[in-house]
Chains A and B, each alone.
Chain A
Amino acid sequence: MVMLFRYNNLVRELVNKSSNEHGIIEMSLVNEVLSGLRECKPTGHRDILKAYLFEIRKTLRKQLVEVEFGCQPNESLISSLKSKLDTITSHSLDLQVSKNDQLIAGYRVRLVDDVFEDSIQSRLSKLSQSLTS
């Protein structure tokens, strides 16, 4: 982990090269970066790749919004959510909508490491915690 920090600047540059003009990471650009690295065989190739993977994951997570609903979501709900989210963040987001029966009802939105949640499940767990503690 500590070793990987050595390649911080290089890796940041590589991630920049892997994303298009909107800041979205693209498969083809990633392939280009990888083949470029393979060609010039830098020292610490393996470590650079590891750090690159870590950074790419982090960036991808920033662009991905996981949305879970307790019931079957309809189109209008999703589009209104999307417009709301666009006002929050500057860069464009990739919305991944799914249904999660465990929530029972309500929603759960995950944006990077922030979770916005209002569901029966979270309320029940809060209730059970307040009763047991």
Chain B
Amino acid sequence: MPDTSLSGQPLKADTFDRSFQVAEMSNWRISPELSAGLKQSLSNTTVDQERPDNEREFLAYVTRPIPKYTRHKIAAILRPRQLWEGTVVECQNGSFVARVIDRTEPSNTDELVTFELDEVSPEDKKLVQPGASFYWTIGVERSPAGQIQNIDRVMFRRLPGWRASSVRDAEREAGSIAELLFSE
């Protein structure tokens, strides 16, 4: 049994996503006029799987519908406009300074940026130490319910702790190197 649109017409594969969103909107009991308008506007939109270059395509991308078969598995969809990788350099009272590397446009200069500790989620605050690594994202997040939100988020990486065996291995390797290179 093929999927059908609201009007009952069979869906082409490439219009499945767009029609799904309209159907989803209809379930929220929005007016038939708005539903029709959305259907019209979305049917004129190209959804690109690559990161889009311009604002119109970007918005189309983040508002694209979630296919039915994956929807229940996804908590939220985050589309970064800009992504940095940061390393904490200095902790101050209520804030911290980090060196950030632009991962969206790597040719940009690195920057030192000051963040407020309140921008970090409570469970991540204990991770804020010199040398700790995080991702800083400015972008758009779509909730499972379809709400769109501009976000500016700092998420710390939870790297594994050092094992005693790793430290022992490093000491042994250092001994071999010292023997090889520094003993003569």
Q: Do A and B come from one complex?
A: no
Footprint of A on B, CB under 8 Å? none
